[in-house]
Amino acid sequence: MAHSDRHEVPLTNADISLLIEALDSHEYWQLSEPTWRHSGAVILPSDDESLWEQRPAPNDEEQETISAIEQCRELADGLRLLVMEELRASGPARIDP
């Protein structure tokens, strides 16, 4: 029997939102360096080069961390797309009187 690298997991939009928040927290508290944080966000060189101008170029370990943060962001972005697609598929919002 062949094994797939994909799995179907039933998640609600609330579940997906919680996962997105968890990824954001993971990026901020576990992956990033405190000096990379600015106004509640993690700022990478690709986000704002001006905040990195006075710093030395990232070393190999920092570059690995930056790559992990970028992967975390890509996953969160993919989850956001799922929520948006679900909202579009459900049609316009209705307000019941």
Q: Which residues of the chain carry a pLDDT beneath 50? A: none
Q: Which tokens in the block code for residue 2?
A: 């062949």
Residue ranges per structural domain of the chain: 13-84
* pLDDT at 2 (0 to 100): 65
| pLDDT at residue 1 in the model | 53
Distances (CA, A) of 59 to 37, 56, 73: 18, 8, 21
Question: What Rg value do the Cα atoms of the chain yield, rounded?
Answer: 18
Res 96: pLDDT = 54
Q: Which of 21, 23, 13, 25 is nearest to 81 (CA)?
A: 13
